[in-house]
Chains A and B, each alone.
Chain A
Amino acid sequence: MTPLESEEQREDWGKGTELSWAKRFLRELSAIIAKSYTMAEMEVRKLRHDPTELMTRAVQPILWLAIFGQAMSRVRAIPTGGFTYLQFMTPGILAQSVVFIAIFYGLSIIWERDMGVLQKFLATPTPREALVLGKMISAGIRGISQAIIVLVVAAVLRVRLRVTVPGVLGVLVVIMLGAGFFAGLSMIIASIVKTRERFMGIGQVITMPLFFASNALYPITIMPAWLRVVSVANPLSYIVDALRSFLVTGDLARVPLDLGVLVLAGLVVTFVSAFMYPRVVA
């Protein structure tokens, strides 16, 4: 056999692939968007076929609100800015339940690798970013379904929340961004640890500190100095802060900062995890 000396042959097979830089960029971008949409659509179809998962996921936030929240309401030791403790903590629990779903999302990559779905997917001409973005959007969709449940529970417990059209839209945006960021982060973790067992271990280790080192259950002002630093670096704090602004206080002064941090963090994890996750099949 000739050792692949067929340069001219390759050239004529590969004709038409030299496009201008701008055209290629636009094409790539539209492919990413279209494929991410496809991935998210399949996720919604799955949820529609089997919604039991949504129900079981609702148990934890219900316990937090109905038991922890009800009990803590009587303490009145936590400065909540003139709102009841349940009002104060509802956005915190909402953020927590969304983030906890997202943080275990990376598991699906390991799972799909073990199954073979990921290999087949990676052998398609789909841009790598699209899988990450698709998963991030899917996590956001699950987050939104979770939010609906938490808000219904809050309504049942007679927690007074601000419900306005721009407020609700704001909540949806924050949930998509927050869930997206943590899903992206968890895919990065998954591509480093590579096995289900190790991933579960890490997931368990980071979720609670993440939760307690945030402003979900108490304001940052009552934290010791070192914890404040951690809390400011914790993206969960920005999610809680934005949700609290929309749902409880109505004071939107810090919302641009919150959204800015979440968008930036989201973009960073998108690219890092798009670069890293194909390694889980290696």
Chain B
Amino acid sequence: MRKMIEVFDLVRSFGPHKAVDGITFDVDPGEVFGLVGPNGAGKTTTIRMLTTLLRPTQGRGVIGGYDIVRQAREVRRLIGYVPQMLSVDGSLTGYENLLFFARLYDVPSGECHERIRHMLALLDLDHAADSLVRTYSGGMIRRLEIGQAMLHRPRVLFLDEPTVGLDPMARRSVWDHIKNLRTTYNTTILVTTHYMDEVESVCDRLAIMHLGKISAVGTPEELKRQVGRDNATLEDAFAYFTGSTMETGGTLRDTLRVRRTARRLG
């Protein structure tokens, strides 16, 4: 089968430090693929390379048949991206935020209004469509951000820590909406997350990242089985493949950023 995402020996260095150190994986069309690892493992750097924001130092990435460096513009047409940080404009309404991205993604102008209304309904934001986004709650903001990235019906959606800083109710609702969108449009999703329970319930397959490398790839069941112990959990699998827990890793800057995101959404 034709792969939707192919990554081969991808490397990104920042000075002497290799944030991503030769990773290789692929994702099938329609699959939900998780990149799991502690802060500083290289997940966000990987996503930034695949979304054409950062040039790989070495290696190749292909999305929907297009090279992420040489055919960046074509890649951008195929993808939607929800960064970990805030990516909506608080001084515009929800509707306007969606309209802005509909235009940037060349949604035909005749369809804009209808698609935006439909998206607002799918995300349960119709009641707040005309309020300024600065009055939204964290969960509503995340849903709106996902809506912005889905308006053009991308083949691949990149979600970087979509639920970090959200309370459990909001997390559930964000995931319900992502699943809903996915079944509607059959989107391939690449998601990074900290939360093992989310990986378990959402991801078809996952890659465990640690210090810039991928230590294991497989379905949650496969990875748990490889631990070789009865009733192994994904946390166990994680510890088994990385020799550490989720707690390690991450610099002061990462921590600061996560805290800031959490405060903003919470």
Chain A residues proximal to chain B, CB less than 8 Å: 1, 3-4, 6, 9-10, 12-14, 17, 31, 34-35, 38, 42, 45-46, 49-50, 114-117, 119-126, 278, 281-282
Cα-based distance from A186 to B44 in the complex (angstroms): 29
**A and B contact pairs by CB, cutoff 8 A, 6 listed:** A9-B65, A10-B66, A117-B88, A119-B53, A119-B85, A125-B105
A195 to chain B, nearest CB (A): 13
- Interchain pairs with CB closer than 8 A, number: 108
User: Across the interface, do B85 and A4 meet the contact criterion of CB distance under 8 Å?
Assistant: no
Q: Which of B54, B66, B83, B104 has the most CB of A within 10 A?
A: B104
Using CB atoms, name the residue of chain A closest to B55. A282
B114 to chain A, nearest CB (A): 18
Contact partner of B85 among A46, A115, A122, CB < 8 A? A115
Contact partner of B92 among A12, A42, A114, CB < 8 A? A42
What is the interface of chain B mostly: helix, strand, loop, or mixed? Answer: mixed
What is the interface of chain A mostly: helix, strand, loop, or mixed? Answer: helix
Cα-based distance from A149 to B60 in the complex (angstroms): 54
User: Across the interface, do B87 and A116 meet the contact criterion of CB distance under 8 Å?
Assistant: yes
Q: Mark B123-146, 1 if CB is under 8 A from A, else 0.
A: 000000000100000000000010
Using CB atoms, name the residue of chain B closest to A120. B87
Cα-based distance from A49 to B65 in the complex (angstroms): 43
Q: Which of B87-121 contact A (CB under 8 A)?
A: 87-89, 91-93, 96, 100-101, 103-106
Q: Which of B25-59 contact A (CB under 8 A)?
A: 25-26, 48, 51-54
Using CB atoms, name the residue of chain B closest to A31. B106
Contact partner of B64 among A13, A115, A117, CB < 8 A? A13
User: Across the interface, do B103 and A35 meet the contact criterion of CB distance under 8 Å?
Assistant: yes
Contact partner of B89 among A46, A119, A278, CB < 8 A? A46
Cα-based distance from A38 to B112 in the complex (angstroms): 13
Contact partner of B66 among A14, A34, A116, CB < 8 A? A14
Contact partner of B54 among A4, A49, A282, CB < 8 A? A282
Cα-based distance from A13 to B79 in the complex (angstroms): 15
User: Across the interface, do A119 and B81 meet the contact criterion of CB distance under 8 Å?
Assistant: yes
B177 to chain A, nearest CB (A): 18
Cα-based distance from A281 to B106 in the complex (angstroms): 23
Please give 17 more A-B residue pairs, beta carbons under 8 A apart, in addition to A122-B52, A123-B81, A123-B158.
A4-B8, A4-B60, A4-B62, A6-B65, A12-B65, A17-B71, A35-B104, A38-B103, A45-B92, A49-B93, A114-B85, A116-B84, A119-B85, A119-B87, A120-B82, A121-B104, A124-B76
Q: Mark B1-37, 1 if CB is under 8 A from A, else 0.
A: 0100010110000000000000011100000000000
Residues of A within 8 A of B79 (CB): 123
Q: Nearest 6 pairs between A and B by C-beta?
A: A13-B65, A116-B85, A123-B81, A120-B87, A116-B83, A116-B87
Residues of A within 8 A of B101 (CB): 120, 124
Cα-based distance from A46 to B132 in the complex (angstroms): 10
User: Across the interface, do A46 and B66 meet the contact criterion of CB distance under 8 Å?
Assistant: no
Using CB atoms, name the residue of chain A closest to B106. A125
Cα-based distance from A49 to B97 in the complex (angstroms): 13
User: Across the interface, do B89 and A117 meet the contact criterion of CB distance under 8 Å?
Assistant: yes
B204 interfacial contact with A, CB 8 Å:
no
User: Across the interface, do B73 and A125 meet the contact criterion of CB distance under 8 Å?
Assistant: yes
B148 interfacial contact with A, CB 8 Å:
yes
Cα-based distance from A1 to B26 in the complex (angstroms): 8
Cα-based distance from A31 to B86 in the complex (angstroms): 26
User: Across the interface, do B91 and A120 meet the contact criterion of CB distance under 8 Å?
Assistant: no
B149 interfacial contact with A, CB 8 Å:
yes
User: Across the interface, do A42 and B100 meet the contact criterion of CB distance under 8 Å?
Assistant: yes
User: Across the interface, do A49 and B53 meet the contact criterion of CB distance under 8 Å?
Assistant: no
B239 to chain A, nearest CB (A): 26
Using CB atoms, name the residue of chain A closest to B77. A125
